[in-house]
Amino acid sequence: MRHISSVSLLASSIALAISGGVAAQENQRNIALEEIIVTAQKREQNLQSVPIAVTALNAQTLNMFRVTNTEDLSNLAPNLNIQNQGRGTIPQINIRGVSSGVSAAEVDPKIATYLDGVYIGRTIGSIFDMADIERVEVLRGPQGTLFGRNA
């Protein structure tokens, strides 16, 4: 009788171990990471398949950090520094050691800024208030092949 009890104990232990593994597999199937879609190469792509250093911020993140204008992006994107020098002056934008350069209003900036896919050709217009923004993408590094000169 003692032999039967130890066999049934062993069998029930194995059954419990197997059922725990099955439950763990079911839980693993339900785990999925959020897919982040960016338009860094002028078409929608998964962020992981884009060969560009991109900081993608969605509306939820922008609201959570209370981003109200482009100057606030300095706190969220690495290697990005946007400074408004004061009212009526030209802002300074630095990204990865490249500065927006000459502070003359008639000179094209070294850093390209786009709003809804439209190039902002002067640094003086690159600091603006943001309301109801869907997303912000900060592309670091040279992007001249996709976005033209000064990108």
* Least-confidence region, from 11-15, 120-124, 127-131: 11-15
pLDDT for position 150? 62
pLDDT for position 23? 52
CATH superfamily of 37-147: TonB-dependent receptor, plug domain (2.170.130.10)
pLDDT for position 120? 78
Residue 103 — very low, low, confident or very high, per pLDDT cuts 50/70/90? low
Structure-token match 């993408």, residue found = 137
Q: Do residues 110 and 100 touch, judged by C-beta distance below 8 A?
A: yes
Distances (CA, A) of 82 to 58, 99, 113, 114, 149: 19, 10, 12, 15, 20
Distance from C-alpha of 13 to C-alpha of 36, rounded to nearest angstrom: 43
pTM for this prediction: 0.60
Q: Where are the domains of the chain?
A: 1-32, 37-147
Closest CA to 77 of 134, 16, 138, 150: 138
Distances (CA, A) of 135 to 70, 112, 130: 12, 17, 11
pLDDT for position 81? 84
At residue 114, what are phi and psi to the nearest 5 degrees? -120, 140
Query: Over the stretch 44-98, which tens digit does the pLDDT of each residue have?
Result: 777 777 777 888 888 898 899 898 888 888 888 888 888 877 665 677 788 877 7
- Please say whether the dihedral angle defined by the alpha carbons of residues 106, 112, 116 and 119, taken in this order, is positive or negative: positive
Distances (CA, A) of 141 to 51, 52, 136, 145: 11, 8, 16, 12
Distance from C-alpha of 129 to C-alpha of 65, rounded to nearest angstrom: 15
